[in-house]
Structure 1
Amino acid sequence: MTDNGSLTTLKLVEALVARGWNVTVLSFPPFILPQQVPLPAGVRRVMLDNLNEEHMQQRLAEIAQQKGTIGAFIHLHPLFALQSQGPAFLDADRAILKQVFFLAKHLKQSLNQVAKSAQSCFYTVTHLDGAFGFTRQTNFGCIGAGLFGLTKTLAMEWPAVACRAIDLSPSLEPDQMVQCILAELQDPDRSLTEVAYGAQGRVTLTI
């Protein structure tokens, strides 16, 4: 899973470890995301030193060599502080989105391999407004919304892998965010690829 620099990362790691997950945390370069949260003892942090695709591939290979085939991925997208009103187009937002596309590319083989004998997943978590960006009541980095398109595409291309994009309201407390993520990880309904949690509770989009 990735580190978004908030307390949510720590609390999610603790919750997953308590449930028997073998967690490794991937941190983005400090020039993109300076904040890092402390991790529980025994949980390894793997740092990306740059945004080079080959470097990321090497880091993933190191994780697989130490921990075994990677069977699950959860991306916690950072909640950036915004100065202006309305959606923003941030360079850091764009850089991290590109990294997640690279991660999907290089996790394809391992996630689908695990899915042949066990459950595997690719989950992304954003903080638009808890309503897919439709409320127009909060400011957010809109480039991160591209994670919804990526995740829904992967759900079609990787039918054996559970893929879901989650939008959590920035007003939720870290403990609440973790409970929402855990609920989605445990949801057996594979037909859902996007879910949001906000003032209205849990919602999804229908056609």
Structure 2
Amino acid sequence: MLGYTLRRVAQMIPVLLGATFIIYALTFLMPGDPISALTGERPLPEATVAQIRQAYHLDDPFLVQYGNYMLGVFQGNFGIDFFGRPVLDLILERLPVTFTLALTAWVLKLIIGLVIGVYGGLRNGRAGDHFALVFTVIFMGVPSFVIALGAQTYFGVHLGWVEPAGIRAGWPMAFILPALVMAFEAAAGLARLTRTSLVDVLRAEYLRTAKAKGLSPRRIIWGHALRNSMIRW
């Protein structure tokens, strides 16, 4: 388990480097000038423009700019925005909201995925299994942004059950809808994995022996089948 965790952490490094490089390159290749976009119809004096370009290394080649950016990131310096605010402070300001949303979605994912997966696994070939299959197909096949936009429009705008945007309502009302959208996509894969593993385990010989010895169905399912199916994850 420790080796697997270390390998996964090590794999994050090239992924993060690749993601930052692609995003930085796309931003660099965008047409227009960032200073002109910032000032709009009120152009700055040439001396001020030159000072800003020097401060943000805008005249340097792309690789030099990217290298300076990554060097600052590894030193904990994410730079400042065009309004003079440290980017790290902006990240830390919004981090509690991000953490709360991610934790809420993770808990909902476990509950929804396990419940639907177990329900489908115990009713293999029946209506419950068909429901689990439809659930996984829909939420694994439809892009999450489509579900998010539809849920936001219907439940937030038309019905008014939740805040369509923002966190003014606080937890849980402001977080429940985006957390559910995030959870459903992840729960679909978890439900399919749980259902498949549980069906395979229920066919095992040792469970037939447990039934023959008179163990209760509840103990067989929750004490043996479900626990051993989770090992296959």
* TM-score normalised per structure 2: 0.19
Larger Rg: 2
Between Structure 1 and Structure 2, which shows a larger proportion of strand residues?
1
Between Structure 1 and Structure 2, which shows a larger proportion of helix residues?
2
* TM-score normalised per structure 1: 0.21
